[in-house]
Amino acid sequence: MSCALHMRPHSPLEVIEYVVEPGQFIGGWFESKGVTGVYVVSGELEVELVGVGRIRLGPRDFVDYPSTIRDRWHLVDDRPAHVLLVIAQPQ
């Protein structure tokens, strides 16, 4: 499940809330322009970054990286993860 919390036309900031369930297809590789931030509210998530490696995040952990680095997410175990994705686009 995902919910756009902040997505306005011509706004440089996007905030999207995700609840990722076990067995749910999260998606393939993503990339864009700007800076991406991932904040884990609850559960555990692994963020895989091309050329960087995997970063494991738990509750209240945050990571940010250039959005030009291709990324994808993986659940760490059989519990859901509640995640906020923040993308700051260049103006």
Please give the full DSSP string across 39-84, using - where no structure is assigned: EEEES-EEEEETTTEEEEE-TT-EEEEETTS-EEEEESSSS-EEEE
Number of domains in the chain: 1
User: What range does the domain containing 71 cover?
Assistant: 2-88
Per-residue pLDDT of the chain (91 residues; tens, 9 = 90+): 656 666 677 888 999 999 999 988 777 898 889 999 999 999 999 999 999 999 999 999 999 999 999 999 999 999 999 999 999 988 7
Angle at CA 65, nearest 5°, toward 17 and 62?
50
Phi, psi of 15 (to 5 degrees): -130, 120
| CATH number of the domain residue 32 falls in | 2.60.120.10
Euclidean distance between CA atoms 8 and 89, whole angstroms = 12
Q: What is the pLDDT of residue 87?
A: 93
How many other C-beta atoms lie within 10 A of the C-beta of residue 25?
A: 6
